[in-house]
Amino acid sequence: MTLNIILLGPPGAGKGTQAARLEEEKGMVQLSTGDMLRAAVKAGTPIGLQAKAVMDAGELVSDEIVSGLIGERLDELGGETSVIFDGYPRTAAQADALDAILAARGRKLDHVIELQVDEDALVDRITGRFSCAACGAGYHDRYKQPKTPDTCDACGGHEFKRRPDDNEETVRTRMAEYRAKTAPILPIYEARGIVGRVDGMAPIDEVNAAIEAILG
């Protein structure tokens, strides 16, 4: 059965970490608009040039750009692929666009999983976040260290990187954007009876188990 799910939660809630686990364990594909935008910035495409300053400030890139990226990426996947929307939708307009994007492709949303976290923990999570420069695997200075120091568990790489927007000031703006524009879309999905809530403060394995229990 093909699944279409949204992982919803503020910056640092663990969306990317959990999406990677679902890719490994369930064969699902993660569609992260943040990753797509960072790739566009790196490649210097017109979208990347437009998005860079907005991302550095912790504000939201335009609805048209991100919904366009999601539609394109879905078209590259086969219709049978199960997908995880990570960091999308983030506004009511994006939630509407996603409904249309899915309907046009014969897909429907199965679950919206809200990762509930304590805001005080988020700055700590985000300022300690880093990833493998070669394969993108995600780590944390204290909560998810590589098994062998300075060596990526996934690919054996030795080079790591940090995001320019993972600093305390930008994180505060990103959290404010989440509260103002993203949290208000939850009631749309609650009315459809598809919201599942998970304690995002639990250890990574427990969060993963709780999500997989919802997916069945």
Residue 164 binds: one of Zn ion, ligand ADP, none (C-beta under 5 to 8 A by kind): none
Determine the residue type at 167.
N
Select from 205, 190, 200 the least CA-distant residue to 125: 200
The yes or no reply on residue 210 touching Zn ion (CB under 5 A) is: no
Check if 90 is active-site: yes
Check if 15 is active-site: yes
# residues near Zn ion by CB under 5 A = 8
69's CB contacts (< 8 A; 6+ apart) are: 33, 36, 37, 40, 47
Rounded Cα distance between 32 and 213, Å, is 22
Distance in Å, CB of 200 to Zn ion, minimum: 24
Check if 42 is active-site: no
Check if 144 is active-site: no
The yes or no reply on residue 132 touching Zn ion (CB under 5 A) is: yes
172's CB contacts (< 8 A; 6+ apart) are: 58, 123
Q: Which is the catalytic residue, given 163, 172, 181, 197?
A: 163
Check if 38 is active-site: no
Nearer residue to Zn ion within complex by CB, 45 or 148: 148
The yes or no reply on residue 157 touching Zn ion (CB under 5 A) is: yes
Rounded Cα distance between 23 and 136, Å, is 14
Catalytic residues: 15, 90, 129, 163, 174
